[in-house]
Amino acid sequence: MIRTALLTLGLAILAGSLVARQDDTESVLPSSQEKVLGYLRSDDLTDPVAQLKRDIESGKVKLARKGQSGFLESVLEALHVAPDTQCLVFSKTSAQRDLISPKTPRAIYFNDRVYVGYVQGSDHLELASIDPKKGTIFYTLSQGDEPSVVRTNHCMTCHNGPKTLNFPGVLVRSSLTTADGVPRSQMTEFTSGHMPPLRVRWAGWYVTGISENDYHMGNGVLADADHPERYDSLTNSNMTRLSGRFDTTPYPRATSDIIALMLLDDSVRMHDLITAARFETLLAQDEFAQHRIDQAALTERIRFHSETLLAYLLFRNETPLKGRLVGTAGIESWFAKDAPRDRQGRSLKDLDMSTRMFKYPCHYLVYSDQFASLPAEVKQYLWGRLGEVLAGKDNSPLYANMPAKDRQAVKEILLDTLPEFKRWTEQTGRRG
């Protein structure tokens, strides 16, 4: 049985996940921030869905319908998203809650740059796309006769607050639900990422796969809605098939893979941290230029957000796994297929999934366009601190337990696969 303190978890991910809707013409940020960040502008977007929108409108891309899911599979193909990443959630925590239940779960698909949501019977797909300079941008794609992509800000009640670091972003939560998918208890302090232990994850989600020596909260509903503390996680863990739970034929896959869910939890937090580091730096620089803060305050704000990003980048706050996780969708080969590799064949996308998520503790989104677009001051700070940590020069509590073999492996991989880090290292060496 799980403890009452672990029972209150809630889900919200992608556009359309709120009840109270916001007018798209209303700024999602304070006017002083919007003036600096220009989040609402769309003419300068370069994210994958912005490009897909242009390609559809120009006729370069023609989407095709397939079965009950409409344009879903064609959109996944156009955005280079693998159907095997399918994650299924059945808690009614979306604006489309009337269409969602344990019999008709909502599906999430993702890659390094985009998240796609599909709900049976909906007139649109939900899209959250990562722009290098503006972070998460939300869209809908109509499921009508002619597909059209529309940018939306209707999701900002959930996707612009403390859980997304107070900027528009993506998040994953979970909710223990009744038999019809209605969420009961929520724990607002739950945060997306690789920090939470397995035992508090995925309530209100289907999970296919094996978790050795541990359990999660997926696959089950509350037998007694008035006593959520009686929910039995052990009974619902280690399910490898969804047959008998609901009709899987409207979905591209019959899985909700445990490895995909781990990767989803992890990636949304990294995207939000990069966005926060960029936006906070730009806002601080503007305040400095307006003489509202001094150089010391500017430096400290850059340091604080860079250090937060660095700790997540190097998995310093990851909760260890108690045993091996085994998926059911074969996502491992797809995930690492085109990953940059060093001269020894190692990649930051090589999975472990026995004691920790990855074999080498440095986040693969260090290769992303979003990371590359961080302000120069943040990048210089990060490269300097990364160099110190990987050289073993930082023995603070946060980094002292990072094994020397991990530091060496990460350093070698980055030097072989990340030209900007290699250039910084060579320049520092010449100066030193």
Task: Tell me the percentage of the chain whose pLDDT exceeds 70.
Answer: 91
User: What is the chain's percent helix, strand, coil content, to nearest 5?
Assistant: 40, 10, 50
pLDDT surpasses 70 at 20: no
Q: Where residue 431 falls among pLDDT bands split at 50, 70, 90?
A: low
Q: What mean pLDDT comes out for the span 196-207?
A: 92
- What percent of the chain shows pLDDT beyond 90? 74
Asked whether residue 4 carries a pLDDT value surpassing 50, the answer given is: no
**Sequence-distant (≥ 6) Cβ neighbours of residue 32 within 8 angstroms:** none
Residue type, position 106, single letter: R
Q: How confident is the model at residue 227 (pLDDT cuts 50, 70, 90)?
A: confident
Residue 40 to residues 33, 163, 172, 189, 274: CA-CA distances in angstroms?
Answer: 11, 21, 24, 29, 19
Q: Is the pLDDT of residue 341 over 90?
A: yes
pTM given for the model: 0.92
Q: Model confidence over 285-301: pLDDT tens digits?
A: 999 999 999 999 999 99
Beta strands in 184-282 (DSSP E): 210-211
Chain-centre distance of CA 298, in angstroms? 28
pLDDT of residue 430: 55
pLDDT of amino acid 97: 86
List the one residue out of 372, 374, 375, 411 whose CA is nearest residue 390: 411
Q: Taking 50 as the threshold, does the pLDDT of residue 22 lie above it? A: no
> What's the pLDDT tens digit per position in 344-396?
999 999 999 999 999 999 999 999 999 999 999 999 999 999 999 999 999 89
| Residue 332: count of CB within 10 angstroms of its CB | 16
Q: How confident is the model at residue 26 (pLDDT cuts 50, 70, 90)?
A: low
Contact present, 63 and 88 (Cβ < 8 Å): no
